[in-house]
Homo-oligomer: A and B are copies of this chain.
Amino acid sequence: MQRTRVAFQGARGAFSEQACKQILAGRRFELAPYEKFFDVFCALRDGRVHRAVIPVENTLHGSVHENYDHLLDFNLAILAETHVRIVHNLIARPGATLDRITRAISHPVALAQCVEFFRRHPGILVESHYDTGGSVKTVMEGSDDTLGAVASSAAADYYGASIIEASIEDDPENYTRFFLLGPQGDSEGAPSGPRKTSMVFVTKNIPGALFKCLSAFALRDIGLTKIESRPLKGRPFEYLFYVDVLASPEETNCANAMRHLEEMTEFLTVMGTYAPAAIGSSDPTPADTKAAGEAG
């Protein structure tokens, strides 16, 4: 059987890699890391990978708007979602000790989530790096025992580095939501149990337009779990709305709601229907993974 080839953004050991392991638990897959989200979407569109895993929302920082924009532009299907609990660790070369660390590197978002720890350790200078996993790679490529990285335990494992201080994040309620994407028409597993549907629409230019659009779901007791607005290009101060509801268009009630919504929108597209993830879902089941670069 062919392994599933999965694109993600970042270096090996990035939180996106952990998301791949959770969302494809028990499956045979190989990882294809890309530097930019745009490249991840291109790889899937062009058939160089079978699946892509992308972050769409963090519970402290909000939505990853770039990826919402790509979701609209690339016309791919959302096949599944997962929530990854973000645990940051101070990581260094084996043998290094906390009292000797004078500089720590990581992605700026990760550093911003560990402000309290660095306030308690004012002797450590923090510095931006392109990626959490990549910061561990940088530490391990050098020979500097005063240099630390902030990243996941998976990154420490992958590069053979040591965790100097575990769980240094300020807020434990720190989760990132990831989507598994595939080509339109693909599906992932059997559609049993509750379903969530993600869509994007532009309202007609009528009074109370958004309220009327939401009525399609509210009047049918379909719960809305998220709404996100994005600017509509070329129409200043008008918006696209990304909406998630707890239902599937395969259910009559939801199909009626979608038809009702269509009456009030000038553009509507369903991006995918999938099983809703629990918050704090699942440590990754050990999976049969193999590193694979663009050339791999």
Which residues does A use to contact B, with CB under 8 Å? Answer: 57-62, 65, 83, 171, 173, 175, 177, 207-208, 210-212, 214-215, 217-218, 221, 223-231, 233-237, 239, 279
Contact = CB atoms under 8 A, between A and B. Distances in A.
Nearest to A175: B236
Nearest to A224: B210
A151 B233 CA distance: 22
Contacts of A233: 60, 171, 173
Contacts of A235: 173
Given A59-B231, A208-B217, 10 more contacts: A57-B231, A57-B237, A62-B229, A173-B233, A173-B234, A175-B236, A208-B223, A211-B211, A229-B229, A237-B279
Contacts of A231: 57-62
A172 to B, nearest CB: 10
12 contacts: A60-B233, A62-B229, A62-B230, A171-B233, A171-B234, A175-B236, A175-B237, A208-B218, A211-B215, A211-B217, A214-B214, A225-B237
Contact of A236 (B173, B212, B214, B239): B173
Contacts of A228: 229
Contacts of A230: 62
A208 to B, nearest CB: 4
Contacts of A218: 208, 211-212
Please list the 8 inter-chain residue pairs (A to B) with the smallest Cβ-Cβ separation, ordered nearest first. A211-B218, A208-B218, A59-B236, A211-B214, A62-B231, A175-B236, A59-B231, A236-B279
Given A61-B231, A62-B231, A227-B227, A221 B207 contact: yes
Given A62-B65, A65-B62, A210 B227 contact: yes
A32 to B, nearest CB: 26
Contacts of A173: 233-236
Contacts of A239: 226
Output the residue of A62, A83, A279 with the most chain B CB within 10 A: A62
A278 to B, nearest CB: 11
Nearest to A211: B218
A227 B237 CA distance: 11
